[in-house]
Amino acid sequence: MSNFADLEGLIWYNGNMVPWREADVHVLTHGLHYASCVFEGERVYEGEIFKLTEHSARLVHSADVLDFEIPYSVAEIDQACRDVVKANDITDGYVRPVAWRGSEMMGVSAQSNRINLAIAVWEWPSYFAPEERLRGIRLQISKWRRPDPMTAPTDSKAAGLYMICTLSKHKAEKDGYQDALMLDWRGQVAEATGANIFFSKDGVLHTPTPDCFLDGITRRTVMDLARKRGIEIVERAIMPEEMAEFEECFLTGTAAEVTPVREIGPYSFTPGQICKDLIGDYDAVVRRKNTAAAA
């Protein structure tokens, strides 16, 4: 992929379609200095954005958690996302709505700052290389932990919360892994750097309770698909040592979709029938191959 600042196309920016290279912000924007910025990640399949309204509603919610109001309704954000996909003639790609406080005030206080909203879209294949996805990826266990909800706005998709994800993923990639597993402040299994995590044992799925990280839209979709197959799902606290007992493991996320995992630190997993079935079910839903499954 070329430098993202130097792509061709249009970006929806505060109500207007702006040439890609002209969609700039000032160096003193509050969102850059104080992380007063929220965003979403959405997939386009066959020209349609999957679960668009859920993503737009979460963007508005995240802004509310960070004490600012996006000056567009959920319906208006939905339409802007559709418009920018159409304007860029994207069939299969990735959508990035982002909202942030501007540069009118510089300091911790930012009550008078303009709230900006931009939406970009670009072609984007699978988050992980196809051959890696099929055989399962390897995760390192990060030293960084998801924070206590009393110390950070964990019920938001806020830019600042991803700093430790970048640090974790960089370390993992440097050491030959594809991603990292993050524990929470209590030492319990939480999530990967940008995806939720599931484990299977004796045909039952186990997944951490999302009380300090996002209950992902893809996570909920995959849980619905699993239930349709009659698979029991247990949401609970999971300690790291329990990973020795699990058989299969996979990640879920807008970018990751359903990605099997074969290794997390000292623990090994074998991608099997549950992973294969849910990969197929998810692909059928997002690409509308099975109308009944998508209902």
**pLDDT tens for each residue of 69-78:** 999 999 999 9
Query: Quick check: do 4-123 and 130-294 share a fold?
Result: no
Look up the pTM and report it.
0.93
pLDDT mean over 258-283: 95
Q: Among 51, 86, 143, 157, which one carries the catalytic annotation?
A: 157
Q: What is the mean pLDDT of the chain?
A: 94
- pLDDT tens sequence across 143-168: 999 999 999 999 999 999 999 999 99
pLDDT mean over 242-261: 96
- pLDDT tens sequence across 212-223: 999 999 999 999
Structural domain 130-294, CATH architecture: Alpha-Beta Barrel (3.20)
pLDDT mean over 90-100: 97
* Region of residue 255 (phi > 0: left; psi between -120 and 50: alpha; otherwise: beta): alpha
Which of the listed CATH numbers 3.10.310.40, 3.40.50.620, 3.30.470.10, 1.10.150.20 matches domain 4-123? 3.30.470.10
pLDDT band for position 128 (cuts 50, 70, 90): low
Half-sphere exposure at residue 211, Cβ-oriented, CA atoms within 13 angstroms: 13
Q: How far is CA 33 from the centre of its chain?
A: 23
pLDDT at residue 134 greater than cutoff 90? no
Give φ, ψ of 234 to 5 degrees. -120, 115
pLDDT at residue 129 greater than cutoff 70? no
| Strand (E) or helix (H) holding 45 | strand 42-45
pLDDT at residue 295 greater than cutoff 70? no
Residue 157 annotated as catalytic: yes
pLDDT at residue 290 greater than cutoff 60? no
**What residue segments make up the domains of the chain, in order of their start?**
4-123, 130-294
The CA-atom distances, in angstroms, between 283 and each of 122, 123, 213, 287 are 20, 18, 25, 6
pLDDT at residue 269 greater than cutoff 80? yes
Q: What is the pLDDT of residue 292?
A: 38
Provide the percentage of residues in the chain whose pLDDT is more than 90: 92
Residue with the two structure tokens 């069939």: 91
Q: Strand, helix or coil at 242?
A: helix
Q: What's the CA gap between 168 and 182, in Å, rounded?
A: 8
- pLDDT tens sequence across 10-58: 999 999 999 999 999 999 999 999 999 999 999 999 999 999 999 999 9
Q: Is 10:119 a contact under the CB 8 Å cutoff?
A: no
Q: What is the pLDDT of residue 288?
A: 77
